[in-house]
Amino acid sequence: EPGAVGPREVAAADDMTGSSARVGPSPVELGTSAAGNYLAGLHAQVEHDFDSAADYLGKALGDDPGNMILMRQAYRLKLASGEVAAATDLAKRIVKSDPHAELANLGLIATDLKEGRAQDAYDRAREMPQQGLGTFFAPLAKAWTLVGLGRADDAIAALAPLKGITGLESGDRVV
């Protein structure tokens, strides 16, 4: 749209150093300040431009590497934009700080399974918390990893806790 302000313009406008950040259509040109990149990343998310959002928030995280909120946002966006290797690196950092981070653990379980480390995936799945998102995802992750270990009967048994979860029904079927 003519006159519309996009994430690139937000990042460039926040460049308080006096240098001019070029704004181009592609590739994304990152700003020079953490705040500008953060705001541009949020704007890109709102615009459903997840590739740019991942780039901007990844750059902002580089300027504030210990910011767990930013790290979790960057992790989700790296996954959404298909940057699995970068997301895996972030998941490892998240889990190091918070061993019970459900989404990061799920990503690491998937990576372990993909790379043929089913036992590592199972060990991680067993440690997932059984509350919050883990109420649903821990049994699924355990079953998934047990299938990877060739233990189909145990995998079916691992799904038993899901029978007690209400709110997943759609008519007479569990969704």
The residue among 4 and 70 whose pLDDT is bigger is 70
How does pLDDT run across 71-117, given as a tens digit for each residue? 999 999 999 889 999 999 999 999 999 998 999 999 999 999 999 99
The residue among 5 and 47 whose pLDDT is bigger is 47
For residues 47 and 53, give the distance between their C-alpha atoms in angstroms, rounded to a whole number. 9
**Contact between residue 94 and residue 104 where contact means Cβ atoms under 8 Å apart:** yes
Estimate the crossing angle of helix 102-114 against helix 118-126, to 10 degrees. Answer: 160
Binned at pLDDT 50, 70 and 90, residue 18 comes out as very low
Those residues with Cβ within 8 angstroms of residue 17's Cβ, 6 or more apart along the chain or in another chain: 32, 33
How does pLDDT run across 132-169, given as a tens digit for each residue? 888 889 999 999 999 999 999 999 999 999 987 777 66
For residues 77 and 84, give the distance between their C-alpha atoms in angstroms, rounded to a whole number. 10
pTM of the model: 0.72
